[in-house]
Amino acid sequence: MAQFGELSIIATAVITLAASILCLWKKEDRYVDAARRLFASAALMGTVAAIVLVFLLVTHDYRVTYVRGYADRTMSLGFLVTALWGGQQGSLMFWAVLQSWFAAAMAFWLHTKDRDVFRTSMGVMGAIAIFFWLLVLTQSNPFTLNGEDPLTSFGMNPLLRNPYMVFHPPTLFIGFAGFSVPLSVAIGVLATGKIESDWLSALRPWVLFAFIFLSIGNILGMVWAYEELGWGGYWGWDPVENASLMPWFTATALVHSMMAERRWGIFRRWNLSLIVVTYLLTLFGTFLTRSGVIQSVHAFSEATEGPYLLGAIIAVLVGYIYLLSIRFKALAPNQTYDTWSKQWMFEVTNWLFVVSVLFVGIATMWPLFVEVFKNEKATVTPAFFNKWMVPIGLTLFATIGACTLLPGGKSSLSGERKKQLLMQVGALTGLAVVSGWLVGQRPSLGGAMSVAPAIAAGLAVFVAGALLIQIRKSYLGGNIVRLGGQLVHLSVVLMYIGFTGGGLVSERQANMGRGEFMYIDDAKVTFMGLRTDVNHEREAVFADLEVAYKDGHVQVVSPARYLYHSHPKQPTSEVTILTNPARDHFFILGETEFRKNRAVIKVLVNPLVFWIWVGGVLLVIGTLLAMRKGGLRELLEMNRTLRRQIVPLGIGMVVGGGVLSVGILWHGVSGGVVFLGALALVVAFWMAARSVMPPSASPQKDEN
């Protein structure tokens, strides 16, 4: 079965190579149509490879090294499927499958655009997919056999056995792979020189689609860290966390910059550069994870594909710089704009995001630089990141309010509009000052950071007020797209409110015996004792705590420590969180003395965290609304050619189901998967051959 999975990878790479060659070397429509079908066939074959790996994981085929390393018999079915992207080799193959699917989707949704740009773009897209499949095949093959049939396995890392990890990696990978579509089109536009084509409007839904999944992935990662890692925070400036944050920064700048080009014809150079840099940053993050150059709970230190990823980054960057240099004049903006106009603030925002990326990237790599050039060990603490990123973040936050209030284009406001704007700014500034004063200075944070919560609170009130004024106008005017964008900005306000709470955290820790208690915030925490629980998967120690609030509400919580049978040297902390809009009470179980019925209990009060998660949900909702016009509708709209594929696709699904059933009856589930894969391979080449064959001459009717 593993050999069939490996054959599927080879077939996918070969089919993708054939499709790319047809796109780049043949201009005739029939060859381009053949390439489109080949891309669809490659996506199908890649999916077969993924299905085979899932089958091996679910059936515990420990002859396969990857299965032995990431699947044990104590894991539930859901986590066994999750193991597809829970390990080094499987996650890279999952990304490769997504690349093939995005190539197929691009082939069918964008083929009606300019033919030359489409052909070149699909050639680039195919090259990206081939690169990933070759990496999987040569450096990270999940179907490698270990030469024996062991009875035991290691199983997936206990930290990854969390419901959020079912969705966090796939959403990130969808976002990463999704940005390959804008990259391919950007290279295609520059290579062909067709700068004035309508590719910007065609790319907008793809950019928003990738952006929303990248955002969801980062938010789910924050929730996972908050609930699973047990240290009380949601962002620790871990190198791999930073690796997914940097492309989000440039993607956010790209979303704004594309809107500016669509409305005012500016920022073409910015847009193309941000597209390329965003995808390269996704590769750079993967390089950090898979090169062994950094230490992280997320990293795969034994991976070998790092040098190849670095080579790909350099190759794409050099190629883009060359293409940009020869098209630089043609990309000049169509109009100018005033300082302090909305357009000017858009450019300021772009530069702030670029500065953020540069700082985070350099700080993340700094320990490596020090080790290479000075042969010394160095660490960059979260406090250092916060010291510099908090001011940058607050400045970005302020630009939201400025962009909301400033006029677009040339600054020409009527007297009445100027008066109204000054009144709004004055009122909002007054409210902001009062809010900052109420929060006050926090000397415990030290230095300039002591006033950061007050500044953030004042900015939150100012920006929220400005946004609510504009949201009301958009709602009454029925402008759903603009309303969506404003809701996204409002979500950022809510998240900043939550981030402000990070400067107001308090905590208490005590070694407690049965009946002993401590006070924190408005709660009395009483230790009721320890208890154990053992099942087929793990051993657990729970600490039962009675939490009595001043309002009379009483609740029992039970933080725990787990020790999985498959990882006896890796205990995990299972926290308990009581949450409300004002604050979270975060309970952590530390060291235990079971014979004495004593334990170290740590309780944190994390103010306003609730609003980070509310802001994350609102960000997704707002982005979906912003995609409504010229975005989601365009992405989901089926063109005539695609509609013609629906009936054959339905027939193919029925035939495939029949073949799968015959295979299962003949040789079990493995036989069914092999039969289905063989059918997919035959259909792939049949579709390509049928498209390449010249059309037969139609008989002409006798007009007499």
Q: What is the pLDDT of residues 627-658, one digit of tens each?
A: 876 554 554 554 444 445 544 555 555 555 55
The residue ranking higher by pLDDT, 216 or 291, is 216
Average pLDDT over residues 125-142: 93
C-alpha dihedral (651, 654, 660, 666), degrees to nearest 10: -100
pLDDT number for residue 689: 55
Per-residue pLDDT band at 703 (split at 50, 70, 90) = very low
Look up tokens 């958009």; give the residue. 474
**Across the chain, what does the average pLDDT equal?**
84
Average pLDDT over residues 266-293: 89
Per-residue pLDDT band at 660 (split at 50, 70, 90) = low
CA distance 683 to 321: 40
Asked if residue 697 has pLDDT above 50, the reply is: no
**Percent share of the chain, pLDDT over 70:** 85
> In the numeric block, which tokens belong to residue 155?
């199983």
* Cβ–Cβ under 8 Å, residues 36 and 106: no
pLDDT number for residue 700: 46
Lowest mean pLDDT: which of 30-34, 246-250, 462-466, 690-694?
Answer: 690-694
Angle at 183 between CA 181 and CA 184, to 5 degrees: 65
pLDDT number for residue 685: 54
* Cβ–Cβ under 8 Å, residues 241 and 285: no
* Cβ–Cβ under 8 Å, residues 367 and 237: no
pLDDT number for residue 699: 43
Please provide residue 87's backbone torsions phi and psi, each rounded to the nearest 5 degrees.
Answer: -125, 175
pLDDT number for residue 60: 87
Beta strand extents in 572-667 (DSSP E only): 572-574, 576-579, 583-593, 598-607
Asked if residue 512 has pLDDT above 90, the reply is: yes
Per-residue pLDDT band at 701 (split at 50, 70, 90) = very low
CA distances to 256, 451, 502, 686 from 653, in Å: 41, 62, 52, 16
Average pLDDT over residues 242-249: 94
Sign for the pseudo-dihedral over CA of 472, 477, 480, 483: negative
**Could you tell me which residues come within 8 angstroms of residue 477 by beta carbon, excluding any fewer than 6 positions away?**
none
CA distance 643 to 704: 38
Q: Using alpha carbons, select from 357, 365, 366 the residue that is nearest to residue 389.
A: 357
**Could you tell me which residues come within 8 angstroms of residue 541 by beta carbon, excluding any fewer than 6 positions away?**
530, 531, 532, 560, 561, 589, 592, 594
pLDDT digits (tens, 9 = 90+) for 63-113: 888 998 888 888 888 889 989 998 889 999 999 999 999 999 998 887 777
**Could you tell me which residues come within 8 angstroms of residue 422 by beta carbon, excluding any fewer than 6 positions away?**
none
CA distance 265 to 335: 7
Per-residue pLDDT band at 696 (split at 50, 70, 90) = very low
* Cβ–Cβ under 8 Å, residues 204 and 631: yes
pLDDT number for residue 446: 72
Average pLDDT over residues 228-248: 90
pLDDT number for residue 488: 93
Per-residue pLDDT band at 170 (split at 50, 70, 90) = very high
Per-residue pLDDT band at 377 (split at 50, 70, 90) = confident
Please provide residue 471's backbone torsions phi and psi, each rounded to the nearest 5 degrees.
Answer: -60, -40
Average pLDDT over residues 197-201: 71
Burial of 419 (C-beta count, 10 Å sphere; 0-12/13-18/19+): exposed
* Cβ–Cβ under 8 Å, residues 136 and 155: no
pLDDT number for residue 630: 52
Q: Using alpha carbons, select from 33, 246, 204, 35 the residue that is nearest to residue 124.
A: 35
Per-residue pLDDT band at 704 (split at 50, 70, 90) = very low
CA distance 245 to 218: 7
Q: Using alpha carbons, select from 118, 183, 136 the residue that is nearest to residue 12.
A: 136
The dihedral region occupied by 634, where left means phi > 0, alpha psi between -120 and 50, and beta the remainder, is alpha
> In the numeric block, which tokens belong to residue 583?
């604050």
* Cβ–Cβ under 8 Å, residues 627 and 207: no
pLDDT number for residue 133: 95
Asked if residue 519 has pLDDT above 80, the reply is: yes
Angle at 250 between CA 244 and CA 256, to 5 degrees: 135
C-alpha dihedral (491, 494, 500, 505), degrees to nearest 10: -120
Tell me the sheet residues that pair with 595. Answer: none
**207-242 b/e (C-beta count within 10 Å ≥ 16 → b):** bbbbbbbbbbbbbbbbbbbbbbbbebbbbebbbbbb
